[in-house]
Amino acid sequence: IPLFCKQLFRLVELQPARAAWIGDIRAGTTVSYGNQIKASCHLIAFNADSAGVLGIVSLDCQDGGKRAVSQLHCHSDTVTDFDFSPFDQLLLATGSADKTVKVWCLSENGQDLPASAGVILGPEGCQVDMLQFHSTADGVLASGAGRRVKIWDVAQQQSLTELESHGDQLQSLAWKQDGALLGTSCKVSRAGSVQGHENNKDSRLIWMDASDYLLSVGFNQMREREVKLWDTRRFSHSLLSCALDSSSGYVWVPLCPGNPRVWVAMGTPGCIHWLRLGRLARGGSCAVGAALTLSVNQCVTEGKTQGAALVPKLALDVMACEVARVLQLTDSFIVPISYTVPRKEFHEDLFPDSAGTLPSASSQEWWAGDNKQQLKCMSAFCPALPSSLPCFYGPSLTHHVVLFPQDGSGLSSPSSSLTSPSMAPSVSTTSGFASSSSQRSLQSILGPSSKFRHAQGTVLHRDTHITNLKGLNLTTPGECNGFCANQQRLAVPLLSAGGQIAILELSKPGRLPDTSIPTIQNGTPVADFCWDPFDLQRLAVAGEDAKIRIWRIPPGGLQKMLLEPEAVLRGHTEKIYSIQFHPQAADILASSSYDMTVRIWDLRTKQEVLCLKGHTDQIFSLAWSPDGRKLATVSKDGRVRLYKPRQSLEPEQDGPGPEGSRGARVVWACGGHYLLVSGFDSRSERQLYLYKADSLSAGPIAVGTVDVSPSTLIPFYDEDTSVVFLTGKGDTRVFVYEIVTEAPFFLECNSFSSSDPHKGFVFLPKTTCNVREVEFARALRLRQSSVEPVVFKVPRVKKEFFQDDIFPPTTVWWEPALTATAWLTGSNAQHQMLNLQPKDMTPVSEAPKDVPVRKYAPSSVYLEEKSDEQKKEELLSAMVAKLGNREDPLPQDSFEGVDEDEWVGRHG
């Protein structure tokens, strides 16, 4: 699936505390073409669990109390669809399998519901499948029943017209914003009438604001979700199409009707996805040649999504910079998910004039042919802006600077092809790292960039996956990575009493048998676990019973149940948070515990040898320095500490750590001279902090916000490239930064995203990387029931040469440099280094200079030589190629590490 994550504005997704969820709702599982849930400025209506009944609840929570849900008994059979009038927030139309359409007048508090409908329309010849109120004329309602569309004048209780050109079952209907056109889609897709989607399972239509563009969503022949963009003035073929994935259960919500940057959210069980329509034509109308951008946000939902609805613009909290709110309907909750923009990025453009609540015509006027432009609600937002909301027009906003996407290669890199140079530019707003100030200069945005910025993460072929994993325990504590792996095998805890652990051999990919597989019987739930770096058969498991068990896996993998550990380490008095092997000395392990100590163990004697003190609260994470002399910790008590365990049991240094109490991680960076901490600030934003390891008390030298999400970002730092990969359990995105020791410290690189959240993401040793393919990191991604390898590559042209700038000699960390005794008695050592260069390759630094290097002109040049029409065609076809066939070689795959000027765009 193509996944693209650049967004024009940094949107923050907020899922309010459970208290704000609307409970006690018992949603039904109605199968229909309807939305299952809708909202007006006052009320929410949803399909309840008994046929013919809608649940009604007020949108706002009065006095912060619990909201009462009332039942509207409206039909004698299933309610298939319903819609609130845009002009009367209490007027609800309902359509049913009982063949009638009814219109109800509700009360503002959602209580005291009427016993009978104000108006009854029909009966129709068959069940009513869908309804939509007209967008500009009062009291005009379109209903679809079977193959027929009827347009009703509600007040007169009569039909104005009947559209009968449909050859088969209708699936969707949608009024254009100006109310002049109605789009429909039906099973054989004769809409308007073109072949829409090849598979006729379901389809939906969404108008792109007031334009002539229409987005349709359906299934292709492969039964994959497919999105197509149509120009209704040239309806013979779609402009763009984009296959998504084959999961069903999506719900489509146009997220910002009336905003040129149209968003669509799709709730699947577990995630919300965004689809964005970018802009291609400069200065032109937003939709002239548009590009689809799919970005996948992190997992936000708990239950299965039954439906989703958008709250009307006028009901949003503008003061809080809320730009959209989606209501997710699950079996037992309505979960409001709010999207806000950080204030420093606020711009009136986020709140374009919104459709007002006054109709621009009566039904009779409209029917007589008066397509008046809808009255715009001019005053709702901008003039009311409090002066405390700054409007910045600096480079952090997209309107005034035209850039090539910072991470992108112009036309066709996945994250940027869809925000290509001549359209709305994409400024890197995800990090705010270089400087949080919106005043930062253009240069600092373009600033130094990483040679890994085009890095691409790819899931390897299915043949390498391990599938049919069953009964995994995916709720490991925050200090644990969820699973652990070395170059030969992985360990993952199972859902069962007594802490069972499955061991899976990476050399044996494929489908696991349905029967249960041999496991380690740890005897107590797993708190954390890790493989001995010097012994691929040895797994250390910290238990909730305060003991650490050392298990030995027979060569070739587990054949039968393992009941007896090789050793048990006893000493902690309370349960353990995390454990970590020493990077240099064999048989040395460190552990942290609820008893607020960090203990260091000698596995040969099974004895505790050192016990470090000084913590006053939970120890979130510990990390040995690469030279094995020091140990860093980050704690809930708000401190980052550094120990030299052999010299003192008290911290040698400490400094201020993250304020947030949800969790944190620490890793060493830049030759062991820096510490990188990932944690939360007091507002629960996920942040990165960089410290100089010799001056912790001075606090972090750099801090950057990543995003807002509940799970701790778990860092993996690659010493050879100084690249850090960060992702949380339950996330869909892996952030990638190169860490440098001067400003801006964090250089953002292409991130990797997937369509469904991962339960764990663990990196493998460098030696597993295919250097011929310029693969500089390899990881395993744990999903609900499978494990997939993911590789990170740097696109290079001269791949026949060994890319020695990317692959310096690597540390032979898998052989011990010291014995436990030597380390404990004060010796130090260094690991051997290994050159990764294959014998038959020449380093690229020694490549003859006259090797012709294919270079593409910068996109700006490329675009200026062409006519507008050509440009559009080419951009579109580049995108279609990109979207349609991910296997095709792409222009940017041929790029060498490019010159900076090729990426620096024009100023708009």
d(CA 189, CA 214): 14
Nearer to ligand NAG, 577 or 813 (CB): 577
Q: State the minimum distance, in angstroms, from the CB of residue 859 to ligand NAG.
A: 50
The two tokens of residue 359 are 């109709």
Q: Which of 294, 430, 299 is nearest to 729 (CA)?
A: 299
Among 496, 521, 684, 711, binds ligand NAG (CB under 6 A): 496
Q: Which of 815, 747, 807 is nearest to 777 (CA)?
A: 807
Nearer to ligand NAG, 475 or 784 (CB): 475
Q: State the minimum distance, in angstroms, from the CB of residue 717 to ligand NAG.
A: 25
d(CA 415, CA 168): 39
d(CA 586, CA 877): 57
Q: Does 578 bind ligand NAG (CB under 6 A)?
A: no
861: CB partners within 8 A, 6+ apart:
none
Burial class of residue 113, CB neighbours in 10 A (0-12, 13-18, 19+): middle
d(CA 259, CA 282): 17
Nearer to ligand NAG, 494 or 818 (CB): 494
Nearer to ligand NAG, 182 or 472 (CB): 472
The two tokens of residue 269 are 């069980």
Q: State the minimum distance, in angstroms, from the CB of residue 677 to ligand NAG.
A: 24
Dump the DSSP string for 680-715.
E-TT-EEEEEEEETT-GGG--SEEEEEEE-SSPPEE
Nearer to ligand NAG, 41 or 472 (CB): 472
Q: Which of 735, 736, 738, 789 is nearest to 762 (CA)?
A: 789
Q: Does 525 bind ligand NAG (CB under 6 A)?
A: yes
Q: State the minimum distance, in angstroms, from the CB of residue 471 to ligand NAG.
A: 9
Region binding ligand NAG by CB under 6 A among candidate stretches 182-190, 458-466, 475-483, 670-678: 475-483
Count of positions (residues) in the chain: 908
Nearer to ligand NAG, 405 or 525 (CB): 525
Nearer to ligand NAG, 448 or 518 (CB): 518
Q: Does 770 bind ligand NAG (CB under 6 A)?
A: no
Q: State the minimum distance, in angstroms, from the CB of residue 497 to ligand NAG.
A: 7
Q: State the minimum distance, in angstroms, from the CB of residue 396 to ligand NAG.
A: 42
Region binding ligand NAG by CB under 6 A among candidate stretches 202-210, 227-235, 471-479, 874-882: 471-479
Q: State the minimum distance, in angstroms, from the CB of residue 526 to ligand NAG.
A: 5
Among 76, 161, 468, 475, binds ligand NAG (CB under 6 A): 475
Q: State the minimum distance, in angstroms, from the CB of residue 577 to ligand NAG.
A: 11
Q: State the minimum distance, in angstroms, from the CB of residue 521 to ligand NAG.
A: 13
Q: Are 288 and 269 in contact (CB under 8 A)?
A: no
Residue 832's CB is within 10 A of a number of other CB atoms, namely: 12
12-14: strand order across its sheet: 12-14, 334-340, 322-329, 307-310
DSSP 3-state of 241: strand
**Main-chain dihedrals φ then ψ at residue 108, nearest 5 degrees:** -65, -30
Among 189, 426, 476, 727, binds ligand NAG (CB under 6 A): 476
Q: State the minimum distance, in angstroms, from the CB of residue 617 to ligand NAG.
A: 20
Q: State the minimum distance, in angstroms, from the CB of residue 563 to ligand NAG.
A: 18
Nearer to ligand NAG, 501 or 690 (CB): 501
Nearer to ligand NAG, 759 or 796 (CB): 759
**Main-chain dihedrals φ then ψ at residue 318, nearest 5 degrees:** -65, -35
Nearer to ligand NAG, 189 or 473 (CB): 473
Q: Which amino acid is at 240?
A: L
Dump the DSSP string for 43-54.
EEEEEBSSTTEE
Q: Which amino acid is at 904?
A: V
Q: State the minimum distance, in angstroms, from the CB of residue 790 to ligand NAG.
A: 24
Q: State the minimum distance, in angstroms, from the CB of residue 551 to ligand NAG.
A: 16
Region binding ligand NAG by CB under 6 A among candidate stretches 110-118, 321-329, 468-476, 898-906: 468-476
Q: State the minimum distance, in angstroms, from the CB of residue 476 to ligand NAG.
A: 4
Q: Are 485 and 531 in contact (CB under 8 A)?
A: yes
Nearer to ligand NAG, 296 or 541 (CB): 541
Q: Does 473 bind ligand NAG (CB under 6 A)?
A: yes
Nearer to ligand NAG, 105 or 495 (CB): 495
Among 39, 526, 634, 724, binds ligand NAG (CB under 6 A): 526
Q: State the minimum distance, in angstroms, from the CB of residue 502 to ligand NAG.
A: 13
Among 260, 493, 628, 700, binds ligand NAG (CB under 6 A): 493
Q: Does 521 bind ligand NAG (CB under 6 A)?
A: no
DSSP 3-state of 480: coil
DSSP 3-state of 600: strand
Pairing of strands 510-511, 466-467: parallel
Q: Does 519 bind ligand NAG (CB under 6 A)?
A: no
Nearer to ligand NAG, 473 or 633 (CB): 473
Nearer to ligand NAG, 320 or 495 (CB): 495
Q: State the minimum distance, in angstroms, from the CB of residue 519 to ligand NAG.
A: 12
Q: State the minimum distance, in angstroms, from the CB of residue 761 to ligand NAG.
A: 18
Provide the mask over 655-694, with x wherever binding to ligand NAG is found by CB under 6 A and - wherever it is not: ----------------------------------------
53-58: strand order across its sheet: 37-39, 43-47, 53-58, 70-73
Nearer to ligand NAG, 575 or 831 (CB): 575
Q: Which of 697, 598, 590, 601 is nearest to 649 (CA)?
A: 598
d(CA 238, CA 616): 63
Region binding ligand NAG by CB under 6 A among candidate stretches 258-266, 342-350, 474-482, 711-719: 474-482
Q: How far lies 309's CA from each of 37, 254, 258, 279, 761, in Å?
A: 6, 9, 16, 26, 32
Nearer to ligand NAG, 468 or 475 (CB): 475
Nearer to ligand NAG, 479 or 804 (CB): 479
376: CB partners within 8 A, 6+ apart:
353, 354, 355, 356
Q: State the minimum distance, in angstroms, from the CB of residue 601 to ligand NAG.
A: 21
Total chain residues near ligand NAG (CB under 6 A)? 9
Q: Which residue has the tokens 């927030």?
A: 89
For the chain, report the end-to-end CA distance as a whole number of angstroms.
32
239: CB partners within 8 A, 6+ apart:
213, 228, 229, 230, 231, 289, 290, 876
Nearer to ligand NAG, 538 or 575 (CB): 575
Q: Are 709 and 298 in contact (CB under 8 A)?
A: yes
Q: Does 495 bind ligand NAG (CB under 6 A)?
A: yes
Q: How would you write 573-590 as a 3-class SS string?
A: CCCEEEEEECCCECCEEE
Region binding ligand NAG by CB under 6 A among candidate stretches 352-360, 454-462, 472-480, 663-671: 472-480
Please give the residue ranges that form the binding site for ligand NAG (CB under 6 A).
473, 475-477, 493, 495-496, 525-526
